[in-house]
């Protein structure tokens, strides 16, 4: 028998976008519930331990990192920086990013949820959606082997994979080719305190091993998570040499390869690189990181041209200061930049589902092409679209005009 719950706003996914959406929606007196499949919050930030937040700062060669966003995203980043004891880093291209500690990210999510009195169901998944007159009326969720029927006024899909659209049998934006997956793990007992020197020594040894046919060619896809080398502990990110296809068994194959790769690389480094001679694996992130999922079509589709021409929109709700970043099954990341000291904007139409009037999307789930989402998926932008989608869902549920909430968001965030 179904338990029946009324929640004005239902948020699917408790990653960076979902937390921001929950904070935005709950600040205004409506009941908000977050449904999260994992047993903890944070999404890719904590499950895949990606290690740095991009998209928070201006794209600029000024060595000072200046925020490109205000409001909740800035507040979240400032807390994270303080708790992580980190500072923004930048590279010669003008990209700025914040290294963070995974525990700090998770704690901050937990604190927001507690402070705002937001109802969270962990280990819960969406089973079914019922529609009436082009609107979502109920969402069935499975939690502790029981069905819970949520009566809702608005839904925000922050699942990264258009879970709601699929449950409602709507078509979704699929790609011909998805970005490569990656696995993060940590080693401790490393004897080197300079991160770029460690990276160079490590790559030299791996390339020598590949040339000598001691290790497979894909062993060159080992990267240091920037800013992670501290007190002899370093986080390494491995590009998994299995294409992401979303076909049956694909995720299991990626995870199996990720485990094998972690073991193989760490063994090789211990045996062949002096700095790793006494190092051991101290931790493996619980999820292999899948970068891109299927998206829901909105009333606007963000394109590569919008990103690369730094396009601005009258209904903008987020600033995008990160370039298009494509990871394929080779070592080199492909970056496509817009002009330095510029940024594009994400319009509200990317967050409003075209086919269902009370469904909103945020994070890596927004309405965007393969190239555009390769920029808009970074967490600084997910936090912004999350907060905006939470406000838009509130406006729908409370009968506030769309123009008013967009004006409010622009003053608050941009
Ligand atoms: C390897 C890798 C490296 C990256 N590096 C960086 C980086 O350096 N900097 C940066 O800013 N970004 C980086 N990213 C991108 C960034 O981490 C993600 O795009 C971002 O975290 C997505 O946030 P989100 O909230 O949209 O989705 P997610 O973080 O994916 O959260 C979605 C949540 O929904 C939950 N969920 C999914 N399906 C269901 C369901 N059916 N029912 C209930 N819950 C569900 C999931 O468990 C998850 O918690 C990287 C991503 C990867 C994979």
* Cβ–Cβ < 8 Å for 198, 229: yes
How many whole angstroms from 120 Cα to the centroid of ligand 1? 18
Give the confidence band of 1 by pLDDT, cuts at 50, 70, 90.
low
Q: Above 80 in pLDDT, residue 196?
A: yes
Q: What single string gives the DSSP state of each residue in 370-405?
A: HHHHHHHTSHHHHHHHHHHHHHHHHHHHHT--HHHH
Q: Which residue has its alpha carbon closest to ligand 1 atom 35?
A: 13
Pocket-testing residue among 16, 41, 43, ligand 1, by greatest number of atoms within 8 A of Cβ: 43
Q: Is 228 in the pocket of ligand 1 (CB under 6 A)?
A: no
Of the candidates 341, 282, 347, 278, the one whose C-alpha atom is nearest the C-alpha of residue 318 is 347
Q: Above 60 in pLDDT, residue 348?
A: yes
Q: Is 12 in the pocket of ligand 1 (CB under 6 A)?
A: yes
Q: What single string gives the DSSP state of each residue in 15-38?
A: BHHHHHHHHHHHTTT--EEEE-SS
Give helix 71-84 / helix 16-26 axis angle, nearest 10°: 120
Identify the pLDDT of residue 296.
98
Q: Above 80 in pLDDT, residue 269?
A: yes
Identify the pLDDT of residue 330.
87
What's the whole-number average pLDDT of the chain?
97
Q: Is 182 in the pocket of ligand 1 (CB under 6 A)?
A: yes
Residue with the two structure tokens 């079509």 = 297
Q: Above 70 in pLDDT, residue 409?
A: yes
* pLDDT tens, residue by residue, 220-259: 999 999 999 999 999 999 999 999 999 999 999 999 999 9
Q: Which residue has its alpha carbon closest to ligand 1 atom 7?
A: 52
Mean pLDDT on 171-189: 95
3-class secondary structure, 275:
helix
How many whole angstroms from 106 Cα to the centroid of ligand 1? 13
Tell me the torsion sign for CA atoms 160, 161, 167, 168. Answer: positive
Q: Which residue has its alpha carbon closest to ligand 1 atom 49?
A: 43
* pLDDT tens, residue by residue, 5-31: 999 999 999 999 999 999 999 977 899
How many whole angstroms from 385 Cα to the centroid of ligand 1? 13
* Cβ–Cβ < 8 Å for 187, 279: yes
Q: Is 244 in the pocket of ligand 1 (CB under 6 A)?
A: no
How many whole angstroms from 163 Cα to the centroid of ligand 1? 13
Q: Is 383 in the pocket of ligand 1 (CB under 6 A)?
A: no
Give the confidence band of 332 by pLDDT, cuts at 50, 70, 90.
confident
Rounded to two decimals, the pTM is: 0.97
Q: Is 320 in the pocket of ligand 1 (CB under 6 A)?
A: no
Q: What is the atom index within ligand 1 of the atom nearest the CA of 362?
A: 26
Please, is 116 exposed, middle or buried when counting C-beta atoms within 10 Å of its C-beta (0-12, 13-18, 19+)?
middle
């Amino acid at each position: 028998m179904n338990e029946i719950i009324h929640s004005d706003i239902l948020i699917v996914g408790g990653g960076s976008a979902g937390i921001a959406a929950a904070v935005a929606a709950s600040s205004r007196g409506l009941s908000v519930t977050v449904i999260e499949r994992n047993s903890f919050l944070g999404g890719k930030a904590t499950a895949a331990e990606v290690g740095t937040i991009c998209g928070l700062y201006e794209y600029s060669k000024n060595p000072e990192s200046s925020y490109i966003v205000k409001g909740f995203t800035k507040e979240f980043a400032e807390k994270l920086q303080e708790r992580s004891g980190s500072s923004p880093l930048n590279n010669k291209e003008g990209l700025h990013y914040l290294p963070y500690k995974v525990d700090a990210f998770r704690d901050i999510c937990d604190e927001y949820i507690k402070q705002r009195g937001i109802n969270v169901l962990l280990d819960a998944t969406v089973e079914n959606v019922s529609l009436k007159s082009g609107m979502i009326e109920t969402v069935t969720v499975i939690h502790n082997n029981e069905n819970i029927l949520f009566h809702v006024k608005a839904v925000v899909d922050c699942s990264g994979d258009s879970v709601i659209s699929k449950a409602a049998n709507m078509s979704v934006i699929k790609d011909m080719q998805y970005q490569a997956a990656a696995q993060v793990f940590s080693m401790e007992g490393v004897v080197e305190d300079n991160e770029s020197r460690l990276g160079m020594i490590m790559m030299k040894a791996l390339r020598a091993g590949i040339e000598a046919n001691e290790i497979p060619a894909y062993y060159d896809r080992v990267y240091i998570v920037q800013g992670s080398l501290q007190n002899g502990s370093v986080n390494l990110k491995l590009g998994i040499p299995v294409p992401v296809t979303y076909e049956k068994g694909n995720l299991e194959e990626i995870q199996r390869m990720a485990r094998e790769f972690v073991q193989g690389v760490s063994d090789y480094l211990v045996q062949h690189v002096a700095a790793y001679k006494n190092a051991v694996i101290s931790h493996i992130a619980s999820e292999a990181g899948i970068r891109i999922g299927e998206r829901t079509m909105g009333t606007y589709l963000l394109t590569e041209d919008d990103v690369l021409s730094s396009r601005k929109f009258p209904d903008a709700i987020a600033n995008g200061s990160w370039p298009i970043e494509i990871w394929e099954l080779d070592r080199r990341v492909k970056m496509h930049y817009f002009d330095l000291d510029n940024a594009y904007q994400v319009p509200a139409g990317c967050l409003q589902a075209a086919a269902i009037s009370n469904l909103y999307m945020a994070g890596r789930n927004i309405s965007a092409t393969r190239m555009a989402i390769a920029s808009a998926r970074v967490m600084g932008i997910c936090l912004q679209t999350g907060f905006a989608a939470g406000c838009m869902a509130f406006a729908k549920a409370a009968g506030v005009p769309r123009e008013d909430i967009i004006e409010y968001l622009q003053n608050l965030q941009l």
